Structure 1
Amino acid sequence: MKVAELARAHGQGMDYQAVSFDYERSPDQDAAAPVRHPVVVVGAGPVGMSLAIDLAQQGVPVVLLDNDCKLSVGSRAICFAKRTLEIFDRLGCGDRMVDKGVSWNVGKVFFRQEQIYGFNLLPESGHERPAFINLQQYYAEGYLAERIAELPLIDLRWKHAVTGVQPQGDHVVVTVDTPEGPYTLEAGYLIACDGSRSPVRGMIGQESQGRVFRDRFLIADVKMKPGGFPTERWFWFDPPFHPHQSVLLHRQPDDVWRIDFQLGWEADPEEAKKPENVIPLVKALLGEDVPFELEWVSVYTFSCLRMPAFRHGRVIFAGDSAHLVSPFGARGANSGVQDAENLAWKLATVLRGQAGEALLDSYGAEREYAADENIRNSTRATDFITPKSEVSRLFRDAVLDLAKEHAFARSLVNSGRLSVPATLAESPLNTPDADRFEGRMRPGAPAADAPVTVDGQPGWLLRQLQGSRFAALVFDGPAAQAQIATLRAAAEGLAALDVLLVGEAARAVDGALGVVDAEGLVAQRYDAQPGTVYLLRPDQHVCARWRQPSADAVRTALRRALALH
């Protein structure tokens, strides 16, 4: 199948695991000299495809290379978090993800035979997206590939494997192998999204460092009719059906359930995957009389690793090629897609000549910080789930016993703290607060969503922030018109800026978009007063906020957000 055919099919009854993409010869292979492209992305997984779409939507041509010709096999990454879904909305495929996925907010934790407590990851209303959806990775990749097929600025080349990388100062020479032999191209920037075993990482002499955990888990994708399990995340410590180990259960689309069984370090991975060894484990959980089919089985050993630096001149790493975490907490694919969002607007801005290389350095600073936060949480979860000494096990079991009756102990239970986006509080792109604010929307935080009305139609705040431009939220007051003029003057010649005038009633001033705070939640979540202004980066992170900003303050903040200070 050609990529264009996938777009026309648009997933109607499609078996994404059976899709095979055709190798197509590129004109680059017949060129007399290597052709230079502004951006070459290696790896057509969720991270590489998200990055390519984001860049293309900002007018940047992208060559996307993949050594394979198929989407992922098996469920793999299945939990896509609220923030990632908001990114997919901006990329044009969020609705399809959510419509197909299984939405959930609630998790439950069990110790031996008893539920000890439950939790709600999105207890407040007024958000468009759920805390998480469960969606097999091959669906996510299929929807992203279909979106790519709609974008002429993306040249997706299947069976084009990168076999050589030579940084050359102002570009990178890339050797690519194909079924018809090798060829060479040049990249202004080469972005490696080629997974945990990243060939590109090895080609430039880099490696990831960290910790490999001495334990193994079995993943079983089981197809069965919904029965005794609701659409929730269930985690068992030391259950009677799998004693002295842990088990995790998630529901996926198509009546498929993902079950993770802890096996222990001594388990033989190949033996463990055999149906005659998997089926008894599943029956012990479900019951002897529950019919099911095994769809996919895998055994994994988990690690928490990262490269010391994500940027190496014109070669930049994102996703698992840059950092790797254990699967508890759904931090892998989510953090990778957030890497892509962070990098895309910065790379596009630099290529347009609106900022210098320092802005790309900030990608490393911000996403290395986020990776460290994810690794810290993932390591703590793994240590709690898989204690490596008798003392550690006794402590864990005592905490679990207490958690049933005592709220303080529940904060100590760690069955995989679920992925949340990093607040980049120490980012060099932030302008520190000069005024007093309350709440979570401090500089570095991803913008919170809320219901709004625009042109008389109900909608959502983040849907108004689509694109590659900075945005200012101006909370309506007597000086709104003057503030909007101040903002436009401050941005002149520096950055494209959208202005949203947020108030209790619809009002448009000087081309600003009038946004009605339908339930008062925008003002509440942003601790807004009349005249309050928030400056948001193109990736929807807060970079500055004021009660009454001056033109100089806004211009200085924009320069700082572009790493021009």
Structure 2
Amino acid sequence: MSPAFDTAAGNGRAHLNTDTDTICADVAIIGAGPVGLMIGNILGLQGVRVVIVEKLDQIIDYPRAIGLDDEALRVFQSVGLVDELLPHTTPNHWMRFTLKGKCFASIEPRTDEFGWPRRNAFIQPLADQILYGGLKRFDHVQALLGHTVASFTQDSEGVTIEVADSTDNKKTIRAAWIVGADGGNSFVRRTLDVPFEGRTKPNQWIVIDVRNDPIGSPHIYLHCDAKRPYVSAALPHGIRRFEFMVMPGETEEELSKPENMAALMRNVVAEPDKVDYIRKRVYTHNARLASTFRMNRVLLAGDAAHIMPVWQGQGYNSGIRDASNLGWKLAMVVKGQARDALLDTYTMERRAHARSMIHLSEVAGDIFAPTSRFGMKVRDTFVRTFNVLPSVKRYFVEMRFKPMPRYEEGVVLSDGRERRDGFLARALAKAGHSAPGRLLGLMSEKRESIIGRVVHGRDPSAATPVGRMFIQPLVRLEDGNIVRFDDAIGNRFAIVGWGADPTFGLTPEARHIWTTLGGCFVIAKPDPQLKFRDDVPEGVNAVGDIDGRLKDWFARLPESVVLLRPDRFVAGMCSPQRVSEHVVRLAGKLSLAGIAAKRESDARAIAEDALPSRESVVAGA
């Protein structure tokens, strides 16, 4: 989907500088998985010269991740590839937990505040192929499949990478920046010696993907069987995934034998000998987090930065969030709009949320497949509360437990990190590594929850949308077309005012900053008012609020102007008369090169004026 407003996405950068043995690029991405490919598409749209290095000869063609959330679909939308992806998805893919043959919880979030269903099944290889195909739109993006990174070194100006293909033909890549998106066993992270802390669950699981779905029922089912927990998930195009816990003493080799595979499948399908297998693999659940996502000119993303258990399907989605957060920042630095201090905000913003998603996945695993009798008792007691406390059941069924990204540091104009103190908070911290502790910790992470209020206290800043993702309703353009909000404004900064001109009283400095950023100005109106043009000055775009969602969103807040980042997160909110002040503050958060240089120049001038002149010194002598 192309933006309805002119965004000037590209910046006219030259094509990749390549010869037989050397490639010069702005950014080198190591790993052509979904995260590396998504970053490549984001940078490609911004005119950044990119080379992607992948050790495999082709993009992986077997199923891996199976869950796609609304945030990830929104990122696919931002790179113009969502329409190609949708035929390979199943929207509103519910997650149902069963115990002793009965469904005790069905996670059925029905909200679409970000423009897409909140839970979707998908076929990852097809999604990755779409991302890979999207790179062909850009002459300045190159993918080197079948190439292995032998070494890399960084200096003050860039990174030198030595790569070789399968026949040992060597190439040198010289790039200003490198992104390690090369998976959980990341060569890039290990070379940097970045700590990768966490834990590995003691039990393993065997994953079995089949064609010609032998069950056919929709959705995903997590069967909390005491003898052997298992998962059954319907996927698009007649594919189904089964996952069985590997019991002590069992091995992948033994389980993969036809007779043992049939024994596993006999409990779930009528004719186990007639199953059309795609792939079988045993894997271990890991929960690990890198201590930092940046080391000078090298950045980490996706599984190279964090690994989480599969129970909430957030590994893929968290990697796409990394790409969305890092892409626009890296583009600004490469193009000279911002200083590299902007890249420090990548770790600030993404690491805390990745930790929360790891926590969520661990809690889901503890509920579904506890590893001890005590854990089972805790799980069963917890399940029984669903019938006694409907509010607790709604909390889980409506997926309110999912930690939505909320940036309290970085490129946001907020009042600082929330205080986390109190006796219960300390107690939960001590209990955090136990199953009950993780469960209580998850419920306390949100201030809106009862436990969260006890732990954290009431904080007025918890209600602010600053640092959170902005909604994406349908809006009407001035030509009458109806589009999603992001397609109306494009992948750029935006100042959106409800019902009034957000540029009224804007200072020349603030206007210059926003123009330098390539940002736009938008008036959001009730849809019937859109045809009235007298209140829309030149250079300001107007959109009609089709179903009142924008009006409802602004009605809950005291401010009526929102400053949006290219990744659609709210950077700040203010009243119309404070827009200029907020723009200047945001420029500081962005480490804008021109603004920083001017401040340094002003500081030098002030310092020089404070020094006595040579003539006055001589005269005094």
What TM-score range do you get, normalising by the shorter chain?
0.7 to 0.9
Candidates 109, 120, 127, aligned match of 2:108: 120
Structure 1 match to 2:84: 96
State the 1:200 CA deviation: 1.5
Q: Does 1:491 align with 2:491?
A: no
Structure 2 match to 1:174: 161
8 Å CA contact retained: 2:288, 2:306: yes
Gap regions ≥5 residues in structure 2: 1-15, 417-458, 597-621
Structure 2 match to 1:389: 372
Partners of 2:572 and 2:220 lie apart in 1 by: 37
Query: Residues 153-191 of structure 1: CA distance to partner in whole angstroms, max 9, x if unpaired?
Result: 211111121110112222111110112422222121011
Change (3 A) 1:401 1:273: farther
State the 1:209 CA deviation: 1.4
Q: Does 1:429 align with 2:415?
A: no
Structure 2 match to 1:500: 522
Structure 2 match to 1:22: none
Q: Does 1:464 align with 2:488?
A: yes
Residue identity in the other structure for 2:572: A
Partners of 1:64 and 1:485 lie apart in 2 by: 42
8 Å CA contact retained: 2:214, 2:275: no
Query: Residues 120-167 of structure 1: CA distance to partner in whole angstroms, max 9, x if unpaired?
Result: 212x46663211222221101111111111221211111121110112
Structure 1 match to 2:135: 148
Structure 2 match to 1:476: 499
Q: Secondary structure at the match of 1:503?
A: strand
Structure 1 match to 2:245: 262
- CA RMSD in angstroms comes to 2.9
Residue identity in the other structure for 1:383: D
Structure 2 match to 1:21: none
Q: Does 1:349 align with 2:337?
A: no
5 Å-filtered alignment, 1:356-395, equals 356-395=339-378
8 Å CA contact retained: 2:503, 2:521: no
Change (3 A) 1:542 1:160: same
8 Å CA contact retained: 2:262, 2:272: no
Candidates 551, 570, 575, aligned match of 1:542: 570
Q: Secondary structure at the match of 1:456?
A: coil
Candidates 7, 12, 31, aligned match of 1:43: 31
8 Å CA contact retained: 1:378, 1:417: no
Return the TM-score normalized by structure 1.
0.86
Q: Secondary structure at the match of 1:234?
A: strand
Structure 2 match to 1:562: 590
Query: Residues 3-58 of structure 1: CA distance to partner in whole angstroms, max 9, x if unpaired?
Result: xxxxxxxxxxxxxxxxxxxxxxx985635xx5432110011110000001100101
Partners of 2:395 and 2:108 lie apart in 1 by: 17
Candidates 257, 260, 269, aligned match of 1:277: 260
8 Å CA contact retained: 1:111, 1:400: no
Partners of 1:522 and 1:319 lie apart in 2 by: 33
8 Å CA contact retained: 1:439, 1:526: no
Query: Residues 63-102 of structure 1: CA distance to partner in whole angstroms, max 9, x if unpaired?
Result: 1111111222421012111100000011111111112211
State the 1:415 CA deviation: 13
Q: Secondary structure at the match of 2:198?
A: strand
8 Å CA contact retained: 1:437, 1:527: no
Residue identity in the other structure for 1:522: L
Partners of 2:462 and 2:550 lie apart in 1 by: 12
8 Å CA contact retained: 2:98, 2:224: yes
Structure 2 match to 1:159: 146
Partners of 2:371 and 2:473 lie apart in 1 by: 44
More helix per residue: 1 or 2?
2
State the 1:530 CA deviation: 10
Structure 1 match to 2:429: none
Q: Secondary structure at the match of 1:304?
A: strand
State the 1:205 CA deviation: 2.6
Change (3 A) 1:341 1:276: same
Residue identity in the other structure for 1:497: G
State the 1:214 CA deviation: 0.5
Residue identity in the other structure for 1:545: M
Partners of 1:484 and 1:291 lie apart in 2 by: 70
Partners of 1:503 and 1:265 lie apart in 2 by: 62
State the 1:379 CA deviation: 2.1
Residue identity in the other structure for 1:132: R
Partners of 1:219 and 1:244 lie apart in 2 by: 17
Change (3 A) 1:350 1:265: farther
8 Å CA contact retained: 2:93, 2:121: no
Change (3 A) 1:86 1:416: closer
Structure 1 match to 2:467: 444
Query: Residues 220-279 of structure 1: CA distance to partner in whole angstroms, max 9, x if unpaired?
Result: 11223575512x2222211xxxx4332222221220111222223543122223333223
Point out the structure with max Rg over C-alpha.
2
8 Å CA contact retained: 1:116, 1:404: no
Percent identity between the two aligned chains: 23
Structure 2 match to 1:296: 279
Residue identity in the other structure for 1:319: G
Return the TM-score normalized by structure 2.
0.79
Change (3 A) 1:531 1:205: closer
8 Å CA contact retained: 2:52, 2:143: yes
Structure 2 match to 1:519: 547
Query: Residues 292-319 of structure 1: CA distance to partner in whole angstroms, max 9, x if unpaired?
Result: 3122111110110111111000011100
8 Å CA contact retained: 2:23, 2:171: no
Structure 2 match to 1:6: none
Query: Residues 351-393 of structure 1: CA distance to partner in whole angstroms, max 9, x if unpaired?
Result: 1222112100111111111211112212222233332332222
Q: Secondary structure at the match of 2:221?
A: strand
Change (3 A) 1:483 1:272: farther
Residue identity in the other structure for 1:371: A
Partners of 1:523 and 1:551 lie apart in 2 by: 19
Partners of 1:213 and 1:77 lie apart in 2 by: 19
Q: Does 1:202 align with 2:224?
A: no
Residue identity in the other structure for 1:496: G
Partners of 1:172 and 1:260 lie apart in 2 by: 42
Q: Secondary structure at the match of 2:538?
A: coil
Q: Secondary structure at the match of 1:336?
A: helix
Change (3 A) 1:141 1:441: farther
Change (3 A) 1:416 1:402: same
Change (3 A) 1:208 1:416: farther
Residue identity in the other structure for 1:474: G
8 Å CA contact retained: 1:490, 1:552: no
Structure 1 match to 2:424: none
Q: Secondary structure at the match of 1:102?
A: strand
8 Å CA contact retained: 1:221, 1:256: yes
8 Å CA contact retained: 1:472, 1:536: yes
8 Å CA contact retained: 1:112, 1:237: yes
Q: Does 1:106 align with 2:94?
A: yes
8 Å CA contact retained: 1:381, 1:416: no
Partners of 1:552 and 1:503 lie apart in 2 by: 22
Change (3 A) 1:58 1:125: closer
Partners of 1:525 and 1:551 lie apart in 2 by: 19
State the 1:501 CA deviation: 1.0
Partners of 1:207 and 1:39 lie apart in 2 by: 24
State the 1:439 CA deviation: 9.0
State the 1:207 CA deviation: 4.0
**How many residue pairs get matched?**
528
